[in-house]
Amino acid sequence: MTEFYRSGHWRNDAWGNRIWIPGHNVVRDDFSKSAGYSRTPGEIEIFNYGGLNKSGRIYSATARFIKPNARCPVCGDEVYFYQNTYGSRVYFDELGPPWPKHPCTDNDQYNKSSHSTSYKEPWLRRDSEISRIISLLSSEAKIPLTKFNTWMIIRILRKIKAKDGHVLIVSNVMQPRKSPIALYLPTLKSWMHSKSVLFLRGNKISRWNASSMQPEIIETTRAFELNDLLTRL
């Protein structure tokens, strides 16, 4: 591994915008031939799934379940990126409360730019991919994870019209073998679908609202008992 200081310079970002890159330390690491260390096949497979930081030393806890959708324009780490039609942008190291922003781009220089037509929001991985990554991390790839928040990542399985609202049937992406959870809401939102990146704790759903560029909390009623759910259908 080599570390050196790179002075400030101009460059074009992924959208063709001319931006100033402040001086910063740069770490270069050849993943397959790191100094004196040969990567295992499992670690190389993990690297190909995405989620390792550029040094190849730490795996994002969120990336086990949600595929990173961008790279930092400064350090090159895989990150989570949101933008809206007004040109606002934000980069995250991890998703979910407290929504930790990526430090390289947590400034006005990177928070405003032109809108990219090729942009896609982060999305949940397939269950089979999640299982494979978790298996690799626990067996072949002994790579430390970043600290994960206490909110559960959920996947919407089904939406049911109820007498006075709607019921969302969701699964715990982090523990898919557990029984599904039923959540009651008076109204459904357009962004409530199977690919939505949502977090649940108690009866609160958290998500990143790209339009307002703020975290959003939605209150629900959690149906802990079957009879509670049946009375609403």
How do beta strands 70-71 and 24-28 pair?
A: unpaired
Q: What is the pTM of this model?
A: 0.71
Q: What percent of the chain has pLDDT over 70?
A: 65
Per-residue H/E/C for 32-93: CEECCEECCHHHHHHHHHCCECCCCCCECCHHHCEECCEECCCCCCEEEEEECCCCEEEEEC
- In the chain, which residues have pLDDT < 70? 1-39, 51-59, 106-118, 140-149, 224-233
**How many other CB atoms sit within 10 Å of the CB of residue 153?**
24
Model confidence pLDDT, tens digit, residues 128-169: 888 888 888 777 656 666 666 678 999 999 999 887 889 999
